[in-house]
Structure formats: structure tokens, C-alpha cells
């Protein structure tokens, strides 16, 4: 306490919980100065020391504060600015200085994409305390700017929302509504949320994360969890008609840098390949060893590359490969069909042809050849076999034939008659043989179970006809001899 001349009145006083400073003053003008190194409460929590000067007058036993510092009639627990309350009593007037704040830590908050390389515009970041009360004001991220806030020791939640988040080029990023919990203690920020915390930025990360940098003047929290807006693309594989989905084709998507996006997919009937792609240029490569349909039939593998772009949720094939509006079952060249849908665009690759298979089973061909050979063999045997009127057709040791030959020498008349009979008999026998042959041939041509059976039956029939003819000839010859006697 100093008077108008700057002279200290009495002694300086160090505040202490439960105690007050009493001093007697003459009428006049005074200055109350506040300093200090460490200010704490009963719990030991530190408060900021605010060096200040409060001017007041004493006149006729009344104290009046004249400083520009805010004077209030009563205490205000919601005040954000220091103030003074003066209580005029019967025995004494009391000045209470209310301007100490808990010690605070400056925290800087920034917002980038998932790589940590691009600051983004449009993310709304809000800090709330352990009671859910907003601390300060919400901040909308902007490239080149950071959010600074001073926080007392305690537990806080950083909430991220927003409608449209973009980079400097105007490319849109997905809004990820998230909550990051952190503590401030003795000037240090520690993130306690389950979200992944990394020591440094990771341009290859596929998951959002937070980087905390502890500095001398302030700690900085950088939220890296925004991804460029993506379009869902569905890829399918069929044969060239577009009617049969195939198994075994290996499809791989690469970006403009040749880097594989996601994983390669092996086609399977009834399944489709789903992938989410940022706007850009891509290549769909098709390879494989064996491609088959549901029946197991093999198709030719056509190694191909299909280039396409994704822009504003739309897929456009830019490769020279033929693009068709719909499937073409009569096509002789491979093609691609792109279907633009509400939720996803679909690319169907139709370029596999069924392999040509040469039948190596000769069993059916053998049956046809054998049937033909049997018919030819049968006809040849019929035409070359001796008739009943030929000597060679007479069985060896036939006594009837020998007797007939001996009788022929005895009489020329008898020979003439016998000759006539023989001619008639031979003609009859030949006719009988032909009729028998025709009948037998008709029956054997219906028997296809064994091509050799028909030929065998035909030969036996010819022999039978010849035998019948010879017997008839012998009987007739004997009758003529009896008549002569």
C-alpha cells in the first residue's frame, strides 16, 4: 500500500487462506499493488499472478475505488475478467480483489488431411470442459491459420464436425465426426482418446491419427483424419457374351503413379469386387492362369489393361478398348460395360472366350467304321461264295453226288434228262438261295449290337441254301433212275 507520494504505508502483506490484511488509513488517495511468484489454492492448484494497481480514496470513513478496473457490487463466479468488490461496513470498509485465474496452458489446434501435408478449410473444431461446457468459441479451420486457446489444468474434449472440407485446390474431403479427449496438466497436453496418437505425420497412413507437439510457449494438437472424398466402384468379370460370370481372372487396380490400390481380386461367380477410389486416373489390369465357368469349362485368358477416370462420383473408361452401353452376346471382340448407379458405378469386363477343345475319344468313330466294314464284308462274301450248281460247292465225301456221277456215265438219255433236271434244280436252288439271302440281310441290318453277327448269319444261310439245292438235285436224279428201270 502506498500513499499519494508513493510512500509505503505499513508493511506489505502476503495473502494466506483464512486471513485478511487490516490497515488504518487517513483520508487521502492510495494505491494497492499486487505482485507475487506463486499463487495457489488449498488444493495446491496454481493460479496466474496478475500484476495490478488499484487506486482508491478514503474520505470521511468511506472507501471508494477510482481505478478503471471493473468494480462490482458482489462476487461473480461466471466472470471472465478480474474485478473488485467494496463492502462498506459499520466498523470498516473491505476491499476484495478478485482477479486470480488458475494457471493456463496455451494450446494450438490445427486440422490437416490424413497425410498431414494439406491444411484444410471447413472443419469445425470445438473444445468442451469436463462439464460439457464450451471453452472459448468454436473454430472453423482455414488453410494458413491455427486455433489458439488457453486452458486451465483439467480434462477436455475436442469435437470435429463440418459440412464441406476442402483443400486449397477445392478438392472435397470426407467429414469425419470425431471426439478427441485430452488433458492439460502443468503446462503439458496429453491425448487420452482411443484414436491413434503418432509422434510424427504419416503420409502412408490409412487410419486417422493425432500428432501432439509439446513446445516451450504452447502445445499443439494436429488432427489428421480427413480423406479425399471417394467413389465406390464395383468390378465384375464375365465371358464375351456378358452372360456367364467367370472364376479365376485376377483384377488389379493401380493409380496414376502405378501404385496398387487396395488388393488384387480373383473373380468368382456370384461375387463382385468393390473398391473406393478418390478422384483420379486408374488402370484396371487383368491376368490369370485358369478362368472357368460354373460348369468347369475353360476360357482363354486375355491379359489386358483398361484405363478409367473417377471424377465427382462418376466412372469413365478412357482406354481404346471398345466400350458398349449394354451386353452383346453376338460380339466377337472383348468390350467393357459401365453402369452408373446411385450408390456405385460398375465396370463389367467382357472379354473371355471359351477354349476350343478337340475330342480325343475315337470310340464312336470306330463303331461307325466297323459297321460300314461289316456291310462291305458281307456283300463281298455273298458275291464271291460259289453257288450250289458249282462243283466246288459239293462237300467232300458226298456219296450221293458220287453215285449220281456214276449213273450219268451209263446213259446219255438219262444224262440229258438229268441235265435238264439239274438246270431246273439249280435255278430253283439259286432262287431259294437269293430269297433266303435277302431275308437274312434284312434281319441282320437291324442288328447293330455286333457288326460281325450279320455277316456270320448270312454265310450260314448261303451254305444252308446250297445244301438244300444239292439234296433236291440228288432226290430228283434218283427218281429218274427208278423210272427208267
- Over residues 429-454, the pLDDT tens digits come to 333 333 334 333 433 444 444 444 44
Confidence of residue 460 (pLDDT cuts 50, 70, 90): low
Confidence of residue 195 (pLDDT cuts 50, 70, 90): low
What average pLDDT score do residues 69-87 get? 85
pLDDT score for 461: 64
The residue among 288, 248, 287 whose CA lies nearest residue 271 is 248
Confidence of residue 304 (pLDDT cuts 50, 70, 90): confident
**Which position has the higher pLDDT, 57 or 382?**
57
Quick: pLDDT tens for 220-250: 999 998 888 889 999 999 998 899 999 999 9
Over 70: is that where the pLDDT of 203 sits? yes
CA gap 149, 153 in Å, rounded: 13
Percent of the chain surpassing pLDDT 70: 75
Confidence of residue 483 (pLDDT cuts 50, 70, 90): low
Quick: pLDDT tens for 96-124: 998 888 888 999 999 999 889 899 999 99
Break the chain into its structural domains and give their ranges.
28-102, 104-226, 230-352, 379-484
Confidence of residue 67 (pLDDT cuts 50, 70, 90): confident
**Domain spanning 104-226: which superfamily?**
Immunoglobulins (2.60.40.10)
Quick: pLDDT tens for 383-414: 445 544 444 444 444 444 444 443 444 434 33
Confidence of residue 77 (pLDDT cuts 50, 70, 90): confident
Percent of the chain surpassing pLDDT 90: 41
Over 80: is that where the pLDDT of 154 sits? yes
Lowest mean pLDDT among 22-26, 67-71, 134-138: 67-71
CA distances from 463 to 421, 458, 459 (A): 21, 9, 6
Q: Which CATH architecture has domain 230-352?
A: Sandwich (2.60)
pLDDT score for 99: 86
What average pLDDT score do residues 328-333 get? 86
Domains 104-226 and 230-352 share a fold: yes
pLDDT score for 300: 84
Amino acid at each position: 500500500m502506498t500513499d499519494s507520494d508513493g510512500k509505503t504505508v505499513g508493511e506489505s502483506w502476503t495473502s494466506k487462506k483464512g486471513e485478511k490484511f487490516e490497515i488504518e488509513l487517513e483520508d487521502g488517495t492510495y494505491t494497492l499493488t499486487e505482485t507475487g511468484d506463486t499463487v495457489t489454492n488449498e488444493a495446491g492448484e496454481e493460479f496466474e499472478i496478475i500484476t495490478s494497481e488499484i487506486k482508491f480514496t478514503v474520505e470521511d470513513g468511506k472507501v471508494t475505488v477510482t481505478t478503471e478496473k471493473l468494480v462490482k457490487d458482489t462476487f461473480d463466479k461466471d466472470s471472465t475478467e478480474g474485478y473488485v468488490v467494496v463492502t462498506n461496513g459499520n466498523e470498516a470498509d473491505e476491499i476484495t480483489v478478485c482477479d486470480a485465474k488458475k494457471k493456463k496452458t496455451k494450446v494450438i489446434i490445427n486440422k490437416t488431411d490424413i497425410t498431414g501435408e494439406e491444411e484444410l478449410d471447413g472443419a469445425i473444431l470445438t473444445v468442451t470442459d469436463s462439464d460439457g461446457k464450451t471453452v472459448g468459441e468454436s473454430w472453423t479451420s482455414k488453410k494458413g491459420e491455427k486455433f489458439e486457446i488457453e486452458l486451465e489444468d483439467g480434462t477436455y474434449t475436442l469435437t470435429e464436425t463440418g459440412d464441406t472440407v476442402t483443400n486449397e485446390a477445392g478438392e472435397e474431403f470426407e467429414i469425419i465426426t470425431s471426439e478427441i479427449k485430452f488433458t492439460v496438466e502443468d503446462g503439458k497436453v496429453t491425448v487420452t482418446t482411443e484414436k491413434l496418437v503418432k509422434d510424427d505425420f504419416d503420409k502412408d497412413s490409412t487410419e486417422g491419427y493425432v500428432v501432439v507437439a509439446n513446445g516451450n510457449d504452447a502445445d499443439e494438437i494436429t488432427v489428421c483424419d480427413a480423406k479425399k472424398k471417394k467413389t465406390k466402384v464395383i468390378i465384375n468379370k464375365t465371358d464375351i457374351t456378358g452372360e456367364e460370370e467367370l472364376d479365376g481372372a485376377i483384377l488389379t487396380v493401380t493409380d496414376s503413379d502405378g501404385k496398387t490400390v487396395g488388393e488384387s481380386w480373383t473373380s468368382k461367380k456370384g461375387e463382385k469386387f468393390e473398391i473406393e477410389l478418390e478422384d483420379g486416373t486408374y488402370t484396371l489390369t487383368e491376368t490369370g492362369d485358369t478362368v472357368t465357368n460354373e460348369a468347369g469349362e475353360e476360357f482363354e485368358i486375355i491379359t489386358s489393361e483398361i484405363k478409367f477416370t473417377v471424377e465427382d462420383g462418376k466412372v469413365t473408361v478412357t482406354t481404346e478398348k471398345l466400350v458398349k452401353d449394354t451386353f452383346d452376346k453376338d460380339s466377337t471382340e472383348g468390350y467393357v460395360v459401365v453402369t452408373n448407379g446411385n450408390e456405385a458405378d460398375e465396370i463389367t469386363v467382357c472379354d473371355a472366350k471359351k477354349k476350343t477343345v478337340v475330342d480325343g475319344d475315337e470310340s464312336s468313330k470306330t463303331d461307325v467304321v466297323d459297321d460300314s466294314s461289316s456291310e462291305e464284308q458281307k456283300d463281298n462274301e455273298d458275291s464271291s461264295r460259289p453257288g450250289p450248281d458249282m462243283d466246288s460247292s459239293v462237300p467232300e465225301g458226298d456219296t450221293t453226288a458220287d453215285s449220281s456221277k456214276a449213273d450219268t456215265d451209263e446213259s446219255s438219255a438219262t444224262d440229258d434228262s438229268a441235265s435238264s433236271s439239274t438246270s431246273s434244280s439249280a435255278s430253283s436252288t439259286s432262287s431259294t438261295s437269293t430269297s433266303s439271302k435277302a431275308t437274312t440281310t434284312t434281319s441282320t441290318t437291324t442288328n447293330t449290337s455286333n457288326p460281325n453277327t450279320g455277316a456270320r448269319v448270312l454265310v450260314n444261310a448261303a451254305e444252308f441254301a446250297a445244301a438244300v439245292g444239292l439234296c433236291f438235285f440228288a432226290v430228283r436224279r434218283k427218281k429218274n433212275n427208278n423210272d427208267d428201270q
